[in-house]
Amino acid sequence: MLMRAAVLTDFKAPMEIREVEIADPGPGEVRVKIAASGVCGSDIKALDGKSPVVRELPFVLGHESAGVVESTGPGVSSVKPGDHVIISMNGPCGRCRNCGSGRFHLCSGRTRMAAIAGLMGDGTTRLKVDGRAARPMIGIGSFAEYAVVNEPMCVKIDPSAPLAAMSLLACGVVTGVGAVLNVARVEPGSSVLVVGCGGVGLNVIQGATLAGATTIIAADIVRSKLDLALRFGATHAILSEDLPKQVGEIVRGGADYAFDVTGVASVLGDAFAATRPGGTTVMVGSPPSGEPLSIPPGLLFGSRRLAGTQGGDASPVRDLPMLADQYLRGRLDLDALITERLPLDRVNEAVDHVRRGAVARSVIVFD
């Protein structure tokens, strides 16, 4: 069948709205009618040719999405046509060594590794542009009317939940909240520093609130982002200058936990220095490959810990329904994260808004 999609045909150039051929789902595959897709910083990296997973063009970007199951291939049993689903960034195989130890975010199964490269388990793609094979971003490609994905990537949710809000759970929300709950495991009554208050950073703040942190310090270089951070649960807001000094004036000795969401190596070092002895710093943002990180060795003698995360170290079938439930209970604010809802034809406009930091989240919506 034919559909409309935003196709990347050249790096550092606008995406083109094209007719794309999408195949029927094969064994173990699901075709989803996309309802909404958030525009994420990872999409921007891909557009600029800086993503390790986007190399061969043409490419259909988009990965933070939710929709309705349109059809299923042979052997699919967990979802059926009409089901509302979040499309997870990770479809763990459940059989590899990492899945066996509960580290589903590190799944090394063949199908999952193929999806990262934009391919299905058989090494091919379900998309064609002008008769030429096109790859979808991490096996999703949700800047399109439909996506064919592997069954484990489809997480069924309550149909009463609005799909535009649910789309945000797939990446920005689960990454931010997961960094708090799964990686740092923030304890009630603790102090938290969040550096970088864009879409993901706001969800780190929401995660810290869910975890029961009582002091949540938001740091950024943009005042408007700090105003948003206070709205989402931060107790303090600081314009980043000298983080260790600024944080020490609020929490004597430094924060219990720090989260760097900027993707700037020097800022990560400052966040690490702003934690107390015994504190934990989590790198949520991703600095450019090869960029060095400078940490004074003496800080490590204070038993400070530095950790990384991949998508909030999430287990899709555990974490996404939990987050959807938190939203429906009024404990997680997703609606306020959506600054704008734009049609597919305006996807490049949405990208520009994300680049300029003018939005918490821009969401592409489909009728």
Instruction: Show the domains of the chain with their CATH numbers.
Output: 2-156+334-365 (3.90.180.10), 176-310 (3.40.50.720)
DSSP 254: -
Q: What is d(CA 153, CA 91) in angstroms, rounded to the nearest whole number?
A: 4
pLDDT at residue 286 in the model: 84
Q: What is d(CA 313, CA 213) in angstroms, rounded to the nearest whole number?
A: 20
DSSP 77: -
pLDDT at 4 over 90: yes
Q: What is d(CA 367, CA 133) in angstroms, rounded to the nearest whole number?
A: 27
3-state SS assignment for residue 334: coil
pLDDT at 356 over 80: yes
pLDDT at residue 190 in the model: 98
Contact of 359 with 339, CB cutoff 8 Å: yes
Mean pLDDT, residues 68-85: 98
- Percent of residues, the chain, with pLDDT higher than 70: 100
Q: What is d(CA 92, CA 112) in angstroms, rounded to the nearest whole number?
A: 6
Judged by phi (left if over 0) then psi (alpha if -120 to 50, else beta), residue 328 lies in: alpha
Q: What is d(CA 284, CA 59) in angstroms, rounded to the nearest whole number?
A: 26
Structure tokens at 193: 């520093």
**pTM for this predicted structure:** 0.94
DSSP 346: G
Sheet of 236-239, strand order: 236-239, 215-220, 191-195, 255-260, 275-283, 305-308
pLDDT, tens only, 196-215: 999 999 999 999 999 999 99
On the CB side of 245, CA atoms within 13 Å amount to 4
Look at 55 and 311; give whichever has higher pLDDT: 311
Bond preceding residue 81 cis, omega within 30 of 0: no
Lowest pLDDT segment from 153-157, 331-335, 343-347, 357-361: 357-361
pLDDT at residue 156 in the model: 97
Contact of 42 with 78, CB cutoff 8 Å: no
Contact of 340 with 353, CB cutoff 8 Å: yes
pLDDT, tens only, 277-297: 999 999 999 887 778 888 888
